[in-house]
Structure 1
């Protein structure tokens, strides 16, 4: 996820995510509110050009071909509040913790 260093606001999601690892599942985007999410790190302050990995968790990638939704989720059982931070980019929050992100990608051949 790209974060503005000066404000800590989440801007968008990016990264390498091979489609071969995605699991098919029927997905329906829950109610989502448009807003800002401010990122705070436990370890160190945000620094320009420095990446912080979220790969330490066991993230699952779910894909619904009919709705073209992708959900990357840490714990599927946790209740979430969804916040749309950019067009088609929703962050699933459980309290102050990031639990998932939902994407509506456009596939190009």
Structure 2
């Protein structure tokens, strides 16, 4: 399945990205449930997956809202991950078939490298250790998607760690 990605200027979703070491996963805590409900649009949520990492999406609009999912830090390699040159905005994902509530669509299988930079606090995943993104957009606090009309090319995350 092919999933195109488009971006436009907008406010990013306020909240906090968390990483639980004991649960090996990311989760997003919204600052205001009303903001999330407005962004979702009323038809529910779907997701786009990169292995077990999920990009939560509005079924109604295709807007990428935040990132969550199982992502064991034990598999991250140390690497240089500088803060991407990103602007606040909205990324709209357009699959070849419509999103369905509760259904996850996979980004076509290929190896996505995982790197973490202790000095900057950024985690990044991208195909084969390359970020070929034409743009970087902060969709929510601590969550940056890199992409092009061809789709998502990278995901940058800067979480608050908890045990």
Greater percentage in strand:
2
Q: Paired residue for 1:47?
A: 100
Q: Paired residue for 1:5?
A: 59
User: For residues 3-82 of structure 1, what are the structure 2 equivalents within 5 Å?
Assistant: 3-42=57-96, 44-54=97-107, 56-75=109-128, 76=130, 78-82=132-136
* Structure 2 unmatched runs, 5+: 1-54
Q: Is the 8 A contact 2:135 2:148 kept in 1?
A: yes
Q: Find the aligned partners of 1:50 and 1:29 in 2 and give their Cα distance.
A: 31
**TM-score with structure 2 length normalisation?**
0.62
Aligned length: 108
1:33 is displaced (CA, Å) by 0.8
Runs of 4+ displaced beyond 4 Å: none
1:77 is displaced (CA, Å) by 5.2
Match of 1:90 among 127, 144, 150: 144
